């Protein structure tokens, strides 16, 4: 549905693309063997797979796209940006970031 994963697969593979409105529907189709693979944002996919082990699904290969997520901050509030940057640096330095990531996404 216009995601970068959808665009990549459509433009760079010969795969027949079937689109779903929601990730659970795509993974249900995978479980039913109606599709051979599902392409979605890795963190969202990892979280869903971890929460639903009965799917017996796993993420394979390398990401197709290199996307980063961000937090928008009002330009008129530089103190908010500074606080966010400091907090993020702290949790990365002390290992909390990795702990949270592993808890929710099941690995690095």
Mean pLDDT by 10 residues, the chain (108 residues): 84 92 93 93 87 90 78 94 96 94 71
pLDDT of residue 38: 94
pLDDT digits (tens, 9 = 90+) for 18-47: 999 999 999 999 999 999 999 998 888 988
38 contacts 27 by C-beta, under 8 angstroms: yes
- Average pLDDT score, the chain: 89
The total number of residues written for the chain in this structure: 108
Angle of helix 23-31 relative to helix 42-51, nearest 10 degrees, comes to: 60
């Amino acid at each position: 549905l216009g995601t970068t994963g959808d665009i990549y697969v459509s433009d760079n593979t010969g795969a027949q693309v079937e689109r779903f409105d929601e990730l659970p529907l795509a993974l249900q189709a995978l479980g039913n063997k109606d599709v051979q693979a599902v392409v979605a944002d890795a963190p969202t996919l990892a979280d869903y797979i971890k929460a639903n082990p009965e799917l017996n699904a796993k993420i394979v290969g390398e990401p197709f796209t290199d996307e980063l997520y961000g937090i928008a901050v009002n330009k008129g509030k530089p103190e908010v940006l500074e606080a966010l940057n400091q907090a993020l640096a702290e949790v990365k330095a002390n290992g909390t970031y990795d702990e949270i990531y592993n808890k929710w996404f099941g690995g690095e």
